[in-house]
Structure formats: structure tokens, C-alpha cells
Structure 1
């Protein structure tokens, strides 16, 4: 099973135009880590990896301590991450490592996975903040791919989980 997960603003952005995620409360991180524990592999693109490496150590250390495969997808043949990460060069290669995988990334990898029909479930954790403009979770309109949520649940810190079964 492949699940695509992003925290998004109430107006549908995963980050500000500069990549900033300051609208996502740090207090949401523990519940995000609990979600990550349900999967055998955690997949991200290179830009997401680089953004995470800028997190405060108090946030990054618990993530890096998770006993899960942490996979970075990049076309950069020279890319070397910190120890504990696996580098692959295609989405299909990343998904072949474990059958129960969570992808949390940006529009390039997200769009590729959806376009190729490789995702079973999409979970958007919506924070109750609008940022006006920024980076969308897909390169094109997500509604084209997703339609309406299969279910909606209340999440921590006044967030809501929109779950799409594909």
C-alpha cells in the first residue's frame, strides 16, 4: 500500500513560495511521527529532504531515530544524504523497497506518483491557517486527480484529515 501524505494550509498549500512551513505548528510533529510509525518506509524527494534537514534538532532527531527505511528520490547521481537514508533515482525504485510505504514530498514526486497510478491513498492534514499563496501539493490541480474525499476526520490541534482512496 502506498499512501501520500502532506500537511496543507486551509487554502491548499504545502509550503510558502520560499519553501517555508512556518504555518505548520511544531506541536503537530508528534502526531505526524505516530503516523509515520504505521509504515515500513518513508519516501521523500530531495527538496523535502533538504527542507527537513533545516528543522530544529528537537524535531529532526525523533524522525531520524524512527526504525523505518527513509528514502530520498532524486535524479542527482552525486547526491549523498546523512547516514540512515537510502538514495534511489526513480519513484518506482523507491516503492519497490517496502510494500507499506508513506510518501511525504512536494509537487514533483507527488504528481509523478499520482499520474503513474502508484498511490492507493492520499491523506491531507489541513491546518486551519490560510497563507494566500505558495506551493501546491501537485504540479496541476489536485481535484483533477482526487475528486472528493472518501472520508474526513478530526485531527489534533484543530486540524482535519481529508482521506482520498484511489
Structure 2
């Protein structure tokens, strides 16, 4: 069965974007450093994105994941032609991901946002959380976490802190009986 990994950065106070949806506060890696991104990306063959996250990624320029299969969850029809690697999905994310996990392939990267991550976490469909904590109190914005009905136990797999203060917290989500 394929793993679903929520690989995401957040401010220390838990925001993944500014109130206007921008992420210009995210740090630029120093020369020669990618915070382990290429190593992680080499395991991935599919991404999961909500429509708002997808539209944010489009503002960064050229589509960054052309060799992956990209699933964008939306209830709105696309307004522009998408990259050929992008598929728009209007079905229930939980049902879709349950089926996708059983197909052959590599890691499924849950890029975000929090509206997509919340039901997948609640359904126990996220296997790992790789949270990059940015040493910044943003003060307001789009929160990473939505309220959950039940606590979700985690097992720490590793941590890493870079000289600029960015810290990776890598957890396995434990299945609750």
C-alpha cells in the first residue's frame, strides 16, 4: 500500500500562508541547501492539492511537478487549461485517496492545503507528517490545522534543525483502533 505524506511548512504559530494566501514569508534555502526536498521528491509519483493551493502554485511560474501525477480537488470547473500532468477531481477526497493508496506507485505527497488535509487526517489516510517549522510568528493567516474530533497519536521518526532555524519534525501517524 502506498504512503500518503503531508510534507508542508508552517510558521511557528501554525500558519501555512498569509491572510492573502501568499507564502512569500517562507525562507529561501541558502546556496547548496534544499532542506531535503530533492531526496523526498525522488520517492514521490503523485501529489494531492486543494484548488486554492493549486492556484497558489500556479503563481510561482512554470508548473513544478510535470513528471508526477497531480490530483487537484475542486468543486469548480477549471478556468484555464491545466498542465497535462494535472487531473481535476470532484469526488470525495477520502474515497478517492482510499482507492489511490491501493494502486501501484510511490509516495503520495499531500501538498495541501489544510481543508484537504483535515478529512484525510480524520480518516486515518495520512501515514507520515513532515512538518517544516519556520522560525517566524506570522500572527495571522491560513492555519495548518483544522479542529479534529479525536486526538491523533504520533511517533517521532526524526528531527533536523538547519543553521537558519528551520526545523523538520518528521512523524509517523499511529493508527487508532
The TM tier, using the shorter chain, reads: 0.7 to 0.9
Off by >6 Å, runs of 4+ in structure 1: none
Structure 1 equivalent of residue 167 of structure 2: 160
Aligned mates of 1:38, 1:16 — CA distance in 2: 29
TM-score using structure 1 length: 0.80
Structure 2 equivalent of residue 68 of structure 1: 68
Relative to 1, partners in 2 of residues 1:146 and 1:13: Cα closer, same or farther, differing over 3 Å?
farther
Q: 1:25 aligns with which of 17, 24, 27?
A: 27
Deviation per CA, 1:108-148: give whole Å up to 9, x if none: 10101001111111111111121111111122269943567
Relative to 1, partners in 2 of residues 1:38 and 1:136: Cα closer, same or farther, differing over 3 Å?
same
Higher strand share: 2
* 1:96-107 equivalences in 2 (<5 Å): 96=100, 98=105, 100-107=107-114
Computing the radius of gyration from Cα coordinates, the structure with the larger value is: 2
TM-score using structure 2 length: 0.76
Q: How many residues align?
A: 160
Q: What are the ranges of 5 or more consecutive residues in structure 2 without an aligned counterpart?
A: none
Contact 1:10 1:130 in 2 (8 A): yes
Contact 2:155 2:172 in 1 (8 A): no
Name the SS for the 1:23 alignment partner.
coil
Greater alpha carbon shift after TM alignment, 20-29 vs 129-138: 20-29
Aligned mates of 2:5, 2:97 — CA distance in 1: 13
Q: What's the offset of the Cα at 1:158?
A: 3.1
Relative to 1, partners in 2 of residues 1:155 and 1:69: Cα closer, same or farther, differing over 3 Å?
farther
Aligned mates of 2:162, 2:71 — CA distance in 1: 26
Structure 1 equivalent of residue 83 of structure 2: 82
Name the SS for the 1:145 alignment partner.
coil
Higher helix share: 1
Aligned-residue Cα RMSD (Å) equals 2.8
Q: What's the offset of the Cα at 1:64?
A: 3.3
